[in-house]
């Protein structure tokens, strides 16, 4: 690998996203980057005009290549890796908009970290919601940019320093292509769930290190309504249990917390029908404490009017993820 030349293959995954793909491609094309980069768009056979929109960009920009193939997210990412012509592969999705210095920050961060530790094989950063979408979406950003909302994940919040990451989000990441291949590429048996976390574990098993960068972020057009956000959290929780089944004891303890949380919420219900120790009511303190934390977070961010929205986001995040993990127990119980 020629470390003096950092040409990059940017892989963009899309399916039926004609509303967003244009803005995504425009933001990548506009990169302030001194080396060469190509853009590989992997489309899962869209039917809403997405393919036609991409083809207009392909005609205009030689650096864009379109690959159309019915595939899951993990399969599409692997197609991008196999077709990539450069030694570095960056990932983002069609519902993301990257800042002008996105590739520059990823590469600069990688270079500095690689000098200190040759085991570094990938870097990434946060994905944050657009601030001007609506109040609920803005509140998602407030909630995620907190420990209770992110549990320390670089994928959900921006940090004040670079730090080793268990995994990096495929909405905002760059890997050494050779390391991805040594790790066996993304696990296609996972379909559309948890491929970034799974890759992080596979990288660690191969002796590689991943880093989250403090100055790297992308704008991610997250679920903009409570119903869509709830469904997304349930989906994530379900996927987490799928990963726990696959990797077992290697899973960090914090990934079991949603199951403990939801189980504890059963205690007040038991107390209603069979009063015992008042300690069974203790889990109800969660609600006032989360409300106070929501208020604090909003004041800190200069937006006290978002308090109720943030409170709702925290509730949906914690309960949705927990319900998802309960749903995901089928992966463990059925061993499929």
Q: Please, what are the domains in the chain?
A: 8-224 (3.90.550.10), 241-331 (no CATH)
Q: Is the pTM of this model over 0.85?
A: yes
Report yes or no: 237 and 148 within 8 Å, Cβ to Cβ: no
d(CA 113, CA 122): 10
Q: Are strands 37-43 and 8-14 parallel, antiparallel or unpaired?
A: parallel
Kindly indicate the confidence band of residue 134, based on its pLDDT and cuts at 50, 70 and 90: confident
The total number of residues written for the chain in this structure = 336
Q: What mean pLDDT comes out for the span 131-148?
A: 83
pLDDT at residue 162, as a whole number: 92
Separation of alpha carbons 93 and 20, rounded Å: 10
> Residues 185, 188, 192, 197: what is their CA dihedral angle, to the nearest 10 degrees?
-40
Q: By percentage, how much of the chain surpasses pLDDT 70? A: 93
Question: Which pLDDT score is estimated for 4?
Answer: 46
Phi, psi of 161 (to 5 degrees): -155, 160
pLDDT digits (tens, 9 = 90+) for 217-260: 999 887 678 999 999 899 988 888 888 888 776 666 777 888 88
Closest CA to 311 of 293, 284, 324: 293
Mean pLDDT within 166-171: 91
What distance in Å separates the CA atoms of residue 75 and residue 91, rounded to the nearest whole number?
A: 14
pLDDT of amino acid 275:
75
Sign of the four-CA dihedral 170, 173, 177, 183: negative
Is residue 302 very low, low, confident or very high in pLDDT (cuts 50, 70, 90)? low
Residues 28-85 pLDDT 10s:
999 999 999 999 999 999 999 999 999 999 999 999 999 999 999 999 999 999 999 9
Please name which of 31, 33, 46, 32 lies closest in space to residue 7, comparing C-alpha atoms: 33
| Of 62, 328, 105, 77, nearest in space to 214 by CA | 105
pLDDT at 336 exceeding the cut of 60: no
In tens, the pLDDT along 11-26 reads: 999 999 999 999 999 9
Please give the mean pLDDT across all residues of the chain.
89
Rounded mean pLDDT of 168-195?
A: 93
CB atoms within 10 A of CB 45: 12
């Amino acid at each position: 690998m020629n470390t003096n030349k950092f040409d990059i293959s940017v892989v963009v995954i899309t399916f039926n996203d004609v509303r967003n793909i244009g803005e995504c491609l425009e933001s990548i094309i506009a990169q302030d980057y001194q080396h060469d980069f190509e853009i590989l768009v992997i489309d899962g056979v869209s039917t809403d005009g997405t393919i036609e929109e991409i083809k207009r960009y392909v005609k205009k920009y030689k650096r864009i290549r379109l690959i159309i193939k019915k595939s899951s997210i993990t399969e599409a990412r692997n197609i991008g890796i196999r077709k990539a012509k450069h030694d570095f592969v960056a990932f983002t999705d069609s519902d993301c908009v990257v800042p002008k210095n996105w590739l520059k920050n990823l590469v600069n961060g990688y270079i500095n970290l690689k000098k200190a530790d040759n085991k570094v094989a990938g870097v990434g950063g946060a994905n944050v919601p657009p601030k001007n979408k609506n109040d609920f979406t803005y509140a998602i950003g407030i909630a995620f940019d907190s420990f209770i909302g992110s549990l320390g994940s670089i994928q959900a919040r921006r940090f004040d320093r670079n730090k080793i990451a268990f995994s990096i989000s495929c909405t905002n990441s760059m890997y050494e292509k050779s390391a991805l291949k040594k790790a066996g590429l993304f696990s296609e048996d996972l379909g559309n769930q948890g491929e970034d976390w799974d890759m992080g574990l596979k990288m660690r098993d191969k002796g590689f290190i991943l880093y989250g960068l403090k100055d790297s972020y992308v704008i991610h057009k997250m679920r903009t309504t409570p119903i869509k956000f709830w469904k997304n959290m349930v989906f994530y929780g379900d996927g987490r249990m799928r990963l726990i089944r696959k990797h077992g004891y290697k899973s960090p303890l914090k990934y079991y917390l949603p199951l403990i949380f939801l189980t504890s919420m059963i205690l007040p219900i038991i107390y209603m029908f069979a009063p015992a120790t008042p300690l069974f009511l203790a889990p109800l303190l969660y609600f006032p404490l989360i409300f106070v934390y929501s208020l604090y977070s909003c004041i800190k961010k200069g937006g006290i009017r978002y308090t109720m929205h943030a409170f709702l986001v925290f509730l949906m995040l914690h309960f949705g993820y927990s319900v998802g993990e309960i749903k995901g127990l089928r992966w463990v119980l059925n061993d499929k």
